[in-house]
Homo-oligomer: A and B are copies of this chain.
Amino acid sequence: MTRWLDPDEQQTWRHFLAAGQLINEALDRQLQREAGMPHTYYMILVALSEAPKRAMRMSELAARAQSSQSRLSHAVARLEERGWVRRERCPADGRGNVAVLTDEGFATLAAAAPGHVEEVRRSLFDVLSPEQVRELGAICSAVRDTLER
């Protein structure tokens, strides 16, 4: 009944898990050390920084930053305490909130970005050939399309 993994698939799967975790740990360590925030928070700041007026509805932000709504809500509360983000009531929809990246938040992000990109290169792009990067892009895109929603 169960379609078990054959030895090759097993190995691929374990490499996949190991690689993914090593990269995530590297990202988190670098950001925690140099910017005092986890990668999930960084992703939230990035998403906000790219939005018009650096502002976005909470649910839209959750989608962009690949966060659950609850996680985002907690995270933004922390980011607000640090003064990097501010929340405003949404005028168009009384239920909604809009998260806004403050200047201080933007400055923090700008300061953190170079070190982060360097880490991204070190842990992924520098390791792979251009051909592999293309392949990886296609693979991840396929996974994403399948699992998303």
Q: Would you call A136 an interface residue if the criterion is a C-beta within 8 Å of the partner chain's C-beta atoms?
A: yes
Known A-B contacts A12-B136, A16-B140, A140-B12; the reply to A117 vs B148 at CB < 8 A is: no
A88 within 8 A of B: no
Q: State whether A128 touches B123 (Cβ < 8 A).
A: no
* Interchain CB contact under 8 A, B8 and A117: no
Which B residues are in CB contact (< 8 Å) with A148? 18, 22
Q: Can you tell how many copies of this chain the complex includes? A: 2
CA distance A145 to B121 in the complex (A): 15
**Is residue A124 within 8 Å, beta carbon to beta carbon, of the partner chain?**
yes
Contacts of A123 in B (CB 8 A): 143, 146-147
- Chain A residues within CB distance 8 Å of chain B: 1-5, 8-9, 11-13, 15-24, 26, 43, 66, 113-114, 117-118, 120-121, 123-125, 127-128, 132-144, 146-148
Contacts A/B (CB < 8 Å), 27 sampled: A2-B117, A5-B117, A5-B121, A5-B125, A9-B125, A11-B137, A12-B133, A12-B136, A15-B144, A16-B124, A16-B136, A16-B140, A17-B43, A18-B66, A18-B140, A18-B148, A19-B139, A19-B144, A20-B24, A22-B143, A22-B148, A23-B143, A127-B142, A127-B147, A132-B135, A135-B136, A136-B139
